Chain A
Amino acid sequence: MEMLSVKNIGISFGGLHAVDSFSITINKGELYGLIGPNGAGKTTVFNLLTGVYKPDIGQIFLDGENITGRSTIEINKAGIARTFQNIRLFKNMSVLDNVKCGLHNDYKYSSFSGIFRLPSYFKTEKIMNERAYEILEVFGLEKEAKILSSNLPYGKQRKLEIARALATNPKLLLLDEPAAGMNPSETEELMDTISLVRKQYDVTILLIEHDMKLVSGICEKIFVLNFGIELANGLPQDVLNDPEVIKAYLGE
């Protein structure tokens, strides 16, 4: 069953075709890797999928629903959540509150009941706390729940960002270089976490990564992008041995 189906999307900035007729189909539950040399347009693809940029041409379908041209907020509500290459946490808020921001649209009460502390406030906050702690436990962050997110060590900040994205209950999770800046043992731990997340949350994942060990270790399929166009697409062993891909990465 198709979870994400992208048909020939493209965007240009001035004369630069940052992404050109990009098509991908991701089935439900799959873990797809998006790789490519620096400046290949990987993050631009993420920005197109999440509505930060509107594609000039092409269409995007999520779970059969056309989400082309919608705003970031609507796309998140439709079921795409993401993390960022440069970590974007809510720095002056606690770890717990970061996750609770992710629960914003699933558990609601009005500002009025918040200000005047009506019963719905206490009821919903209690459920939100339970849910947030559940998610934090998956990432082993429950002990740090009350501290400021900016005081977390780097690896845990990355994890918290994934936790926050998962809190929005997405169908598709986009991870932008989740292992960037991590040491080998942290990367190892992250791979375990990603596997655990897939098991527990029944979520489809598309991730950008430079760490080939991680990509070949957990991705079921790989898409290679170069200068905004598709270079290769398929199973890891085929793609990584493709002479074109090796040429793009290592030069001739």
Chain B
Amino acid sequence: MTTQFLNIKKLNKSTRYNIVTVGSILIAYAICMYMINAGNMSNLLQNLLVAMCYYGIMAVSLNLTVGILGQLSLGHAGFMCIGAFTGAFFSKIMINTMDNVIIRFTLAILIGAAMAGLFGVIIGIVVLRLRGDYLAIVTLAFGEIIKNVLNVLYIGYDSRGIHFSMKDTASLNLEEGGMVIVKGAQGISGTPRNATFTIGVALLIITYLIIVNLVNSRSGRAIMAIRDNHIAAESVGIDITKYKILAFSISAALAGVAGVLYSHNIATVQSTKFGYNTSILILVFVVLGGMGNLRGSMIAAILLTVLPEYLRFMRDYRMLIYAIVLIVMMIFNWAPIFINWRKNHSLKDAFNNILKKIVKAKKEA
């Protein structure tokens, strides 16, 4: 026990931080699984488990753009939308040809991420010349464009291949036996519901590790250097455009992963679900959790996903109360008194104290 304890101390700080974060996620996961199996978890909460995961992924990935790159993006839901539609489209086409669910879903995730990442690069090249408020407005516009284009998009599939239309189902000119997959405002329905809580947690951990490893690498330093002082970053030879687009597209690709998870969790995907309301909601997670604080983003995402569902009994006053709770949290979360309180009552200290007691008890014995 003593040696293990010392080894934890020896590890470098960021590694220790990651072990604690991933460990906490796994413990939370284990508790949830135990509660489900024991039948102690309400249906309401069970239905929210996957949502917590994809909102967690969204929050962590947006934190890369907002907290670590330092650029305000208000169109993050747009990339989720692309991921959701691409993933669902792939799964619908392949549902009869690929029987292995694991391979199909993995491919759907990768393709959804790749497509969202590709759009991240394209949009990033255009918008990242701007800064601050201007960038926020343009990303907001792109998010809405993606949503509205997908809202009128019809895609069908038959033996001759894939057909696109922006008008209606009839103009797809499908052969007999062809299948309409994306039905405009009705979106995609009947996607196989492959997303499980386990997969969601795995993806959340992978997302977290990808971002945290990126941040603690050469590219991550370049990205943070741009955030802290772009003139100085240029003066030491850091390619600003390259690293801005890199961070933006990785963030977009991970939002795509969250989208795939989303579309495989519910029966119907509609593009209207990915409006700027969703983008702002995710930004709220990031701001509340703390800019650049990945662990905080996850906690905020989980709390704020659960909260409105538990406020349902308030009916019409639900969003009002939600807003008040949000304001109160914003005010008190970073208040010095609360920061000190958290420091004095941290889990880390409690854990260390327990370890110390065990060591002491062993010595005495």
Contacts and interface: CB of A to CB of B under 8 A. Distances in A.
B224 A73 contact: no
B262 to A, nearest CB: 24
Interface size on B, as a range, is: 20 to 34
Interface in A81-140: 81-82, 84, 88-93, 97, 100-102, 104-105, 107-109, 111, 114-117, 121, 124-125, 128
B237 A168 contact: yes
A164 B219 contact: no
A104 B228 CA distance: 16
A121 B213 CA distance: 10
B238 A101 contact: yes
A210 to B, nearest CB: 22
A230 B232 CA distance: 28
Given A76-B235, A90-B232, A101 B222 contact: yes
Interface in B69-112: none
Interface size on A, as a range, is: 35 or more
Given A92-B224, A93-B225, A114 B213 contact: yes
Interface string A138-180: 0000000000000000000000000011011000000000000
Given A90-B224, A115-B210, A73 B238 contact: yes
B218 interface: yes
Most B-side CB within 10 Å, residue of A52, A76, A90, A164: A90
A164 B228 contact: no
B220 A114 contact: yes
B239 A73 contact: yes
A121 B221 CA distance: 13
Given A73-B237, A76-B236, A76-B237, A104 B214 contact: no
A72 interface: yes
Given A88-B229, A114-B219, A77 B237 contact: yes
A121 B217 contact: yes
A167 B236 contact: yes
Nearest to B246: A111
A101 B213 contact: no
Contact of A50 (B219, B221, B235): B235
A90 B231 CA distance: 10
A104 B236 contact: yes
Given A104-B222, A105-B237, 7 more contacts: A72-B234, A76-B234, A84-B232, A101-B238, A121-B217, A165-B235, A168-B237
5 contacts: A73-B237, A82-B235, A104-B237, A114-B220, A115-B213
